[in-house]
Amino acid sequence: WEHHEKVEKHSSQLDASKGFGGKFGVQKDRVDKSALGWEHHEKVDKHESQKDYSVGFGGKFGVQKDRVDKSAVGWDHHETVQKHSSQLDASKGFGGKFGVEKDRKDNCAKRWEDRDNDDDDDNKNKQKTEIIKGDAKSLASKFENLAKQDDNVAREKIQRERQKRIEQEAHEKELNKDRVVFESEAREEE
């Protein structure tokens, strides 16, 4: 209990010339740049157009030509439409010096003189279909034969169905006989 710890004072408490107050006031080297007093008056810089009158929308030289929109033209402007390449050079296009341009021509667009003689040969070589008399009678007989075959198939199918039904009924009778015999034996035992 005899020992007493002494807390040392802060540097601002020891030297009154340092810190936020005291002999010299606020330390100037540690002040925030935005923390200004009431006596401070901020000066706003002028815009470029206010500094140099040769630049901007008016002034010495007028509107700046390098920043003007291309569509913003005066009343004295007269637009001229550029001619098409076929109008400028007479050697190109559909007519003119050399006629039609061969590299841009459609493959289907042919002249009468360019027609191949192969077409005529193809027409000559085509075989005519032979017409046989009495062909209608043979067609009728084919259809009649098909109808007869369909009838035969239907008859065979009906016969198979009948046979299945007869076999099924016979099988059911056998089962019923066994059941009747079994029931009669069960009654006798009682």
- pLDDT tens-digit readout, 60-104: 666 677 777 888 888 898 889 998 877 777 666 665 566 666 777
Q: Is residue 102 part of a domain?
A: no
Sign of torsion over alpha carbons 138, 140, 146, 148? negative
Under a CB-based contact definition with an 8 Å cutoff, are residues 23 and 16 in contact?
yes
Whole-angstrom distance, CA of residue 19 vs CA of residue 14: 10
Q: Is residue 147 part of a domain?
A: yes
The DSSP output letter for 184 is H
Q: Is residue 165 part of a domain?
A: yes
Under a CB-based contact definition with an 8 Å cutoff, are residues 116 and 123 in contact?
no
Domain count, the chain: 1
Q: Is residue 176 part of a domain?
A: yes
User: What single-letter amino acid sits at 81?
Assistant: V
Q: Tokens standing for 24?
A: 């010299």
Q: Is residue 110 part of a domain?
A: no
Q: Is residue 162 part of a domain?
A: yes
Of 79, 96, 78, the C-alpha closest to 87 is 96
Whole-angstrom distance, CA of residue 27 vs CA of residue 35: 12
Task: Tell me the pTM.
Answer: 0.24
Which residue would you say has higher pLDDT here, 49 or 72? 72
Domain interval for residue 144: 137-189
The predicted model gives 109-137 an average pLDDT of: 65
Q: Is residue 69 part of a domain?
A: no
Q: Is residue 76 part of a domain?
A: no
Task: Quote the Cα angle for 55-61-62, to 5°.
Answer: 85
